[in-house]
Structure 1
Amino acid sequence: MTADAPADNPYVADPPTEFEPVADLNLDTAREQAEQLRDAIRYHDHRYYVENDPVIGDRTYDTLFARLQDLEDTFDLDRENSPTQRVGGEPLDELESVEHVAPMQSIDQGGEKGEVQEFDDRVARGLADAGFDPDERTYFCEPKFDGLSVEVVYEDGIYQRAATRGDGEVGEDVTENVRTIPSVPERLRGDYPDTLAVRGEVFMPTEDFQAYNRERIERGDDPFANPRNAAAGTLRQLDPSVTAERPLAIFFFGVLDASVEFATNSEVYERLPEWGLRVTDLAEKADSIDAAIDYRDRLLAERDDLPFEIDGVVFKLDDRAACEALGSTARAPRWAFAYKFPARSERTTVRDVVVQVGRTGRLTPVALMDPVEVGGVTVSRASLHNPAEIERLGVGVGDEVRVKRAGDVIPEVAEVIEAASKGTVDFPESCPVCDSPVERDGPLAFCTGGLACPAQLERAIVHYASRDGLDIEGLGEERIQQLLDAGLVEELADLYELGQLDLTSLEGWGMQSVANLQDELAASTEPPVDDFLAALNIPSVGGATATALARKFETFEAVMNADREHLQAVDDIGPNVADDIREFFESERNYEAIERLLEHVDPQPYEVEGGDELDGLTFVFTGSLEDYTRSEAQEIVETHGGSATSSVSGNTDYLVVGENPGQRKRDDAEDNDVPIIDEGEFESELEARDVLE
């Protein structure tokens, strides 16, 4: 499910990249802008790291991030929970979470030579302060691969597990998927260390990516935007056999933890291949920052001829003892810097402009163009983003335009080079799919059809049947598309009117699968009211907000009829969220669709389950439990009146430790005299308090 964008936030869609000087701001204005930037960056982090569907380019993101850092530094703003204090991203719900053996930090980055020289100056000062000779500093240079970063762990030379970077502390367990990558050895070679945790970058080679995308288009699937998205989507497949069919590769480039020592980062590149771990042959040492910059310029010139995508280079101080002395900020090491490449761009001619209706109802104009090579990829369509962008560019059919891949991700029209049209494209006033009125929201345009718009229906049904909705097994995206293509479902209520003959006439549907689906649908007709609210995919209403609404109003009818004032009385619901809820229910088409749905579904009033057996107790979990997922264990605690938090503090009562636990939480527990218990002791505590029988 796509993350909902923060409402009324100027830094979400087509954000500005030029700001008034920080010195001209007062404290209140700075605080307000910083909060908007934090919300927007969290949203962009989620789109990039979790959904692999960014809405802005890398350089634009870097500009927003730098502005936030500048505001925080200048006005000494509170940085607690700010994106500048952590690595972006969070694990997906569908995959188990796993703690890294050591933090997988991000890297400070920039696209200007002056920023690189400033980095070198900071390194020199830091080395001098730490007692090192700054004149002896050398750098190890390597390509910045445009893929997905993973942690791979070996014990006694045997492959144990793999995890995505996630939020830097906790990632998604992709052990079986990474195991399918041919360049990941099951067993290390040579004189390997007893324990080894390495960092690598999973990617899809360019030629393989082009062939795979061609196959997707030929079978009617949407192509991936770039090799990084293809690699990330493949690695997060729940079925490892799907991953095994796709052409993934990996380069290893760092050691997170090992039972051996390395004197330099260049030595890491020498030792890893000895153990059977693949590294790139493009890395090299540089005896000065100028030599490192020359390395970057050479790779930039060779970029289009490489068999994989890179979006910059990384400079690391080579001496690992010096690296340790410099240390890290909360987000990134002080001894490394990524020098980013500029975005690619090219010329072509606009032949037509069509308006697509997205699954959220947003209308996006798309320019159809003469095919052109942009960064090694043939581009024949590019986003115009929104009606305001059409007006800003002054673009029309027949114009010669410059196309770029912003951040090497999204093809977009950057400017009109030579106008051949007599005006800009007329933007429709009604939805091209359902003919509902189009509503403008600042620079954006949305279809007001809601649940009744066919373009939004697939997304509505997918979410309704997902784990975040009513968890209807047997109703995945492929089968939903079948139902839509066959004309059997035109709104949510039609799901409950599907007959056996309707379904058995479709390819791949047998009597048993039909019976199973009908049983699942029947079981979903009396859902808890909070599950039903979450299933409707109301803008800004996720699972937690749905539960808060249910707890406050108890019945679905009460929520549907609540005014803005009463909605804002609910915890964590502000005026913007209240407006989103009211607008959803006040839409005539949504109202009609919900009324039909309520003919089949009877949401049950909210009831508090569980008890207060764990009232006043706070638990923290680390590692993998045998009998529960971490979320299941946390739910048990919270259902029975306790608290389950993500970090250890003096208020924590127990740290529950499973397999492969994180060292930081155990250290924090010891520092705060927090009892450390295993899964068996946790269950004994639950039994003693009558939580478990």
Structure 2
Amino acid sequence: MSEAIQLIIENLRTELRQHNHNYYVLDNPTLSDYEFDLKLKELEKLENEYPQFADPNSPTQRVGGGLTKNFETVTHKNRMYSLDNSYSKEDLLDWEKRIQKITGVNELEYTCELKYDGASINLTYENGSLKSAVTRGDGFQGDNVTTNIKTIKSIPLIIDSSFSDFFEIRGEIILPLNGFQKMNEEREAAGEEMYRNPRNTASGSLKLQDSSEVAKRPLDCLLYHIVGDRLPVDSHFDALETARELGFKVPKAIQLCKSIDEVFQFITEWDVKRHDLPYETDGIVVKVNNLHLQDELGYTAKAPRWAIAYKFKAEQESTVLNEITYQVGRTGAITPVANLEPVQLAGTIVKRASLHNADQIEKLDIRENDTVYVEKGGEIIPKIVAVDLGKRPLNSVPTMYATHCPDCQTELIRKEGDAKHYCPNEFGCPTQITGKIQHFISRKALNIDGLGSETVELLFKERLIQNYADLYDLTIEQIIPLERMAQKSAENMIEGIHKSKDIPFEKVLFGLGIRFVGETVAKKLAKHFKSIEKLMNVTFDELVAVDEIGERIAQSIVDFSNDLGNILIVDRLKRYGLQLEVSKESEEGQTDILNGKSIVVSGVFHVMSRNELKKSIEDNGGKVSSSISKKTSFIVAGDNMGPSKLVKAESLGVSIISETDYLKLLGGE
């Protein structure tokens, strides 16, 4: 009997999944809404009566109902990179030349797709079932929003597992324009404030605590990239076509281009047709089609070398500049800000725009009360691009740039060759003090849960902290009396501060806020010098001798290390137990066998994936280079190594070894 019931349940699930796919992905319904609802209720009734056959990926789970108080932070298995932007055909031609130089391949194929304006999502499938859905976050880690994502009908919960046992597929959660309009009509009728734009509304929907509320919103998901080891496809275009066959909603506006000229044709076509789309898009994404070439090209610190976004000409509006004010950054850099008469631009209300620096103000002769033209740089950050001189008031006077810090009134300085003015009062300027602490607690640094920017400002205002080391002296008793602070909030904050003592050295080093030491540089310094003690005692010459550490970074580290205030703060962090040296665990399996060697990886490999091979080189002290030069120590070559790379290697006398030879080298054979 139970086997028969189980079969009925499974058949209903399969039938409902197919109807769901027909309706939401293919836009070709084969069942009326009424009939669908009857079958869904029948399935729901059977699942309630026979809970032993429950399935978290059943069609009944799409209606929501699960509550999520706190979204778990998850580290991405494969980092979600940003894309480099281009704004002209010349930019794209330059990009192609860089690819040709690295790969040695002159005739390239590209896949062109529309750049969807939504909230990025990473879906993980294991053995044919949706395992998790995680937001992009900072690219390294995001929020687990699986419960909410399951309510989106166009996302399959079950697929054919024969494609791959484990893979990730990425896309954008969007809110179609007609759905957005309907939501706003309902809010207006209810006397509620209307949503500003589809993108932010889609993004905010993913973090609603009640998934049944998410289910009411007409969200959709457009997929554009599969990530996985040894996928059974050789090209990006084929991967997307396969994803479509598996049941994913892959937009039809995709084209395989045999040349960069065909890419230009695609851009020209969609610059016009995009205005008729049912959802927002702000450009075209161009990707090298061959997946092996994608692997060979790899990534910069921020973006894949094999993909680029072409941004359509930014929307522009005119408005009045009411006032120029000045902001102080955590490094003391002063940024002039245009406070504008509110204007709608690219779906958002813009009230402020960056003026960059004194040179930009002088170049455009920007003045208060001017009528100015504003656009979004890459349709993200508003900026002033021109002044309507014909509307300038008769009593207008040229802008005199600020001479003193708006926060502490210290006289500003501007070093030769630097575009920005700076407030030199590093340890006395309130905004610099709180800015350094806010950077220290940020997600990419110490990632302290329960502590946000506003709380940092409140703690500083109440004189409980003056620097980031003071955080480790805080007690629950000190925090509870603060405004909007309850017992549980105070406990969470102290617990988050305590847990940050386990954050690895490279992130602590980044969190110290040394000027010009970003994430990538912090990793390199941590790996090379192993401890903060050694780093703060090296000379300028020793620093510039490290690969990719230039004079500006070296001088900044020396200045930081020679400052008594910094020395005392770092000493306190040591005593509090923060990780200020590379842990033994992180160095397990690492050697210096390849120390000082620059190695190029080219071709298709069988024992290790390309990423595993690159990590192996770095773990053994080597540097992975993307192009062959006189500095190249040797090339690890797999199948299908580019012929031009072979010619270049031979002309420079660079040795080529196989994957097997490389493994023997590591084994000391």
Please tell me the TM-score bracket, short chain as reference. 0.5 to 0.7
Looking at structure 1, the residues matched to 268 and 347 of structure 2 have their Cα atoms a distance apart, in angstroms, of 19
| 2:167 is aligned with 1:187 | no
| 2:403 is aligned with 1:429 | yes
Q: 1:166-216 deviations in whole A, cap 9, x for unaligned?
A: 99xxx757694467432563533689856585754224448799999xx9x
* Cα distance, 1:376–1:294 mapped onto 2, change above 3 Å: farther
Looking at structure 2, the residues matched to 112 and 451 of structure 1 have their Cα atoms a distance apart, in angstroms, of 47
Looking at structure 2, the residues matched to 296 and 425 of structure 1 have their Cα atoms a distance apart, in angstroms, of 40
Equivalent pair of 1:108/1:336 in contact (CA under 8 Å): no
Equivalent pair of 2:337/2:353 in contact (CA under 8 Å): yes
Looking at structure 1, the residues matched to 286 and 550 of structure 2 have their Cα atoms a distance apart, in angstroms, of 44
The 5-angstrom pairing of residues 124-203 of structure 1 reads 142-146=113-117, 152-160=123-131, 172=140, 176-177=144-145, 180-181=148-149, 182=152, 185=155, 187-188=157-158, 193=163, 197=167, 199-203=169-173
Equivalent pair of 2:113/2:255 in contact (CA under 8 Å): yes
| 2:275 is aligned with 1:301 | no
Opposite residue 112 of structure 1, the aligned amino acid is K
Equivalent pair of 1:534/1:546 in contact (CA under 8 Å): no
Q: 1:622-673 deviations in whole A, cap 9, x for unaligned?
A: xxxxxxxx99xx99x99xxx84769799999xxxxxxxxxxxxxx9754634
The 5-angstrom pairing of residues 398-477 of structure 1 reads 398-418=369-389, 419-420=392-393, 422-441=396-415, 442-465=418-441, 475-477=451-453
Q: 1:274-327 deviations in whole A, cap 9, x for unaligned?
A: 64312335557999999986764453235456454323335799xx9xx79999
Shift of 1:379: 1.8
Looking at structure 1, the residues matched to 464 and 350 of structure 2 have their Cα atoms a distance apart, in angstroms, of 35
TM-score under structure 2 normalisation? Answer: 0.55
Q: 1:419-476 deviations in whole A, cap 9, x for unaligned?
A: 3363332221111011222121422112212232211223322344568877877545
Q: Which runs of 5+ in 1 are unaligned?
A: 1-93, 124-128, 216-222, 621-629, 653-666, 678-693
The 5-angstrom pairing of residues 284-295 of structure 1 reads none
1:504 alignment partner in structure 2: 480
Opposite residue 436 of structure 1, the aligned amino acid is T
| 2:312 is aligned with 1:341 | yes
| 2:643 is aligned with 1:672 | no
- Give the SS at the match of 1:580: helix
Equivalent pair of 2:128/2:161 in contact (CA under 8 Å): no
- Give the SS at the match of 1:364: strand
- 2:459 counterpart (483, 487, 492): 483
Shift of 1:272: 4.6
Looking at structure 1, the residues matched to 397 and 565 of structure 2 have their Cα atoms a distance apart, in angstroms, of 40
Equivalent pair of 1:403/1:413 in contact (CA under 8 Å): yes
- 1:111 counterpart (70, 88, 92): 88
Looking at structure 2, the residues matched to 585 and 365 of structure 1 have their Cα atoms a distance apart, in angstroms, of 30
Looking at structure 2, the residues matched to 339 and 523 of structure 1 have their Cα atoms a distance apart, in angstroms, of 42
- Give the SS at the match of 2:422: strand
Looking at structure 1, the residues matched to 514 and 525 of structure 2 have their Cα atoms a distance apart, in angstroms, of 10
1:280 alignment partner in structure 2: 251
Opposite residue 395 of structure 1, the aligned amino acid is I
Looking at structure 2, the residues matched to 200 and 364 of structure 1 have their Cα atoms a distance apart, in angstroms, of 36
1:32 alignment partner in structure 2: none
- Give the SS at the match of 1:382: strand
Shift of 1:389: 0.8
The 5-angstrom pairing of residues 353-432 of structure 1 reads 353-418=324-389, 419-420=392-393, 422-432=396-406
Equivalent pair of 2:297/2:305 in contact (CA under 8 Å): no
Looking at structure 2, the residues matched to 190 and 266 of structure 1 have their Cα atoms a distance apart, in angstroms, of 19
Looking at structure 2, the residues matched to 570 and 292 of structure 1 have their Cα atoms a distance apart, in angstroms, of 40
Q: 1:467-519 deviations in whole A, cap 9, x for unaligned?
A: 88778775454542442455544555654665655422125645576578679
The 5-angstrom pairing of residues 509-528 of structure 1 reads 509=485
Looking at structure 1, the residues matched to 562 and 449 of structure 2 have their Cα atoms a distance apart, in angstroms, of 31
1:218 alignment partner in structure 2: none
Equivalent pair of 2:112/2:255 in contact (CA under 8 Å): yes
* Cα distance, 1:197–1:412 mapped onto 2, change above 3 Å: same
* Cα distance, 1:482–1:674 mapped onto 2, change above 3 Å: farther
Looking at structure 2, the residues matched to 394 and 283 of structure 1 have their Cα atoms a distance apart, in angstroms, of 44
| 2:106 is aligned with 1:98 | no
Deviates more, 1:360-369 or 1:266-275: 266-275
- Give the SS at the match of 1:438: coil
Looking at structure 2, the residues matched to 531 and 256 of structure 1 have their Cα atoms a distance apart, in angstroms, of 26
- 2:297 counterpart (318, 326, 330): 330
Opposite residue 434 of structure 1, the aligned amino acid is C
How many aligned positions are there? 513
Looking at structure 1, the residues matched to 155 and 169 of structure 2 have their Cα atoms a distance apart, in angstroms, of 14
Equivalent pair of 1:474/1:517 in contact (CA under 8 Å): yes
Q: 1:547-600 deviations in whole A, cap 9, x for unaligned?
A: 8778696697xx5xx88678768897654234324555778xxx5687699799
Shift of 1:355: 0.9
Opposite residue 358 of structure 1, the aligned amino acid is G
1:539 alignment partner in structure 2: 515
Shift of 1:390: 0.6
Deviates more, 1:421-430 or 1:409-418: 421-430
Looking at structure 2, the residues matched to 578 and 260 of structure 1 have their Cα atoms a distance apart, in angstroms, of 43
Q: 1:214-251 deviations in whole A, cap 9, x for unaligned?
A: x9xxxxxxx99x9889989999x9x999x989997531
Deviates more, 1:341-350 or 1:291-300: 291-300
Q: 1:18-43 deviations in whole A, cap 9, x for unaligned?
A: xxxxxxxxxxxxxxxxxxxxxxxxxx
* Cα distance, 1:257–1:501 mapped onto 2, change above 3 Å: closer
Looking at structure 2, the residues matched to 578 and 262 of structure 1 have their Cα atoms a distance apart, in angstroms, of 45
Looking at structure 1, the residues matched to 506 and 223 of structure 2 have their Cα atoms a distance apart, in angstroms, of 45
Aligned-residue CA RMSD in angstroms? 6.6
- Give the SS at the match of 1:361: coil
1:9 alignment partner in structure 2: none
Looking at structure 1, the residues matched to 382 and 252 of structure 2 have their Cα atoms a distance apart, in angstroms, of 30
- Give the SS at the match of 2:271: helix
Deviates more, 1:386-395 or 1:474-483: 474-483
Looking at structure 1, the residues matched to 443 and 136 of structure 2 have their Cα atoms a distance apart, in angstroms, of 24
Opposite residue 98 of structure 1, the aligned amino acid is K
* Cα distance, 1:244–1:288 mapped onto 2, change above 3 Å: same
Looking at structure 1, the residues matched to 571 and 136 of structure 2 have their Cα atoms a distance apart, in angstroms, of 42
Looking at structure 2, the residues matched to 445 and 197 of structure 1 have their Cα atoms a distance apart, in angstroms, of 48
Looking at structure 2, the residues matched to 97 and 651 of structure 1 have their Cα atoms a distance apart, in angstroms, of 32
2:68 alignment partner in structure 1: none
The 5-angstrom pairing of residues 169-318 of structure 1 reads 172=140, 176-177=144-145, 180-181=148-149, 182=152, 185=155, 187-188=157-158, 193=163, 197=167, 199-205=169-175, 249-253=220-224, 272=243, 275-280=246-251, 282=253, 296-297=267-268, 299-303=270-274, 306=277, 308-313=279-284
Equivalent pair of 1:163/1:172 in contact (CA under 8 Å): no
